[in-house]
C-alpha cells in the first residue's frame, strides 16, 4: 500500500474501535495475517492466527453483551479507556510511524488513533446513557445494532476505500465534537 492509503487505513480502523473494540482489531489481525499491510517488528503478533482467534472470540462476546440493557452501560465505562488503548495500538501497528523513536511513534498513535476512538466511544456511551434514561433500556439494542453495523461496515471499507472511510469516520467524530461543544456553550446538559 502507498503511504496515504496506509495512514487512512490506520486512522479509520483506529476510529472504528470507538464503535466496537474488537471488530476493527479482528480486521487488522486478518489484514496483517494476509500481509495486506506491513506490521512493525514489535507488532508482528497482531498478524498471527492466535490473534485472529482471540479477537474473533472477543468480538462475538462484545457484540452479544451490548444487547443487554444496563449491562451495556456498565461495559461503556470499561470500553472508553480500552477503546483509546486499542485505537492507539492499531494506529501504531498500521500507520508507518518511525520505529526508532518511541516517543514520536506512540505520541502520534495516541493523537491519530486513540483520540478518535475515545471521542467516538465516549459520545456513543453518552448516547446509550440517554437511550437508557429515555426508554428504560428498551432502545439500547437499536443503538447497539447501529454500532455493530458501523463497526463492521467501516472496518471493511477501511480496506476497500481507506481514504473515504477515514474521512467518513473523522466526519462522524467531528460531528460528535461539534455537538458536544454546541451543548456546552448553549448551557444544555442533555445529550443529544
Residue 111 maps to a domain? yes
Q: What are the two backbone dihedrals, phi and then psi, of residue 161, each rounded to the nearest 5 degrees?
A: -130, 75
pLDDT in tens, 116-131: 999 999 999 999 989 9
Q: How many CB atoms lie within 10 A of CB 167?
A: 14
Nearest CA to 20 out of 150, 114, 110, 130 is that of 150
Q: Answer whether residue 57 is part of any domain.
A: yes
What's the number of domains the chain is made of? 1
Three cell numbers written together for 107: 505520541
Question: Cell 506490521 identifies what position?
Answer: 39
- Does residue 191 belong to any structural domain of this protein? no
Q: What is the pLDDT of residue 137?
A: 87
Domain annotation covers residue 192: no
Give residue 105's pLDDT band: very low, low, confident or very high (50, 70, 90).
confident
Query: Which domain range does residue 65 map to?
Result: 3-186
Choose the weakest-confidence range: 43-47, 58-62, 95-99, 155-159: 95-99
Q: Is residue 36 part of a domain?
A: yes
Amino acid at each position: 500500500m502507498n503511504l496515504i492509503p496506509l495512514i487512512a487505513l490506520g486512522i479509520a480502523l483506529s476510529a472504528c474501535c470507538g464503535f466496537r473494540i474488537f471488530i476493527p482489531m479482528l480486521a487488522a489481525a486478518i489484514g496483517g495475517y494476509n500481509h495486506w499491510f506491513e506490521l512493525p517488528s514489535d507488532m508482528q503478533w497482531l498478524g498471527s492466527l492466535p490473534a485472529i482467534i482471540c479477537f474473533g472470540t472477543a468480538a462475538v462476546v462484545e457484540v452479544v453483551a451490548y444487547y443487554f440493557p444496563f449491562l451495556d452501560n456498565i461495559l461503556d465505562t470499561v470500553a472508553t479507556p480500552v477503546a483509546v488503548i486499542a485505537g492507539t495500538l492499531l494506529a501504531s501497528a498500521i500507520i508507518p510511524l518511525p520505529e526508532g523513536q518511541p516517543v514520536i511513534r506512540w505520541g502520534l498513535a495516541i493523537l491519530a488513533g486513540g483520540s478518535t476512538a475515545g471521542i467516538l466511544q465516549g459520545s456513543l456511551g453518552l448516547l446509550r446513557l440517554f437511550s437508557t434514561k429515555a426508554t428504560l433500556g428498551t432502545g439500547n439494542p437499536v443503538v447497539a445494532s447501529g454500532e455493530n453495523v458501523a463497526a463492521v461496515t467501516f472496518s471493511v471499507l477501511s480496506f476497500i476505500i481507506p481514504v473515504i472511510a477515514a474521512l467518513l469516520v473523522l466526519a462522524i467524530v467531528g460531528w460528535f465534537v461539534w455537538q458536544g461543544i454546541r451543548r456546552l456553550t448553549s448551557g444544555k446538559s442533555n445529550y443529544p
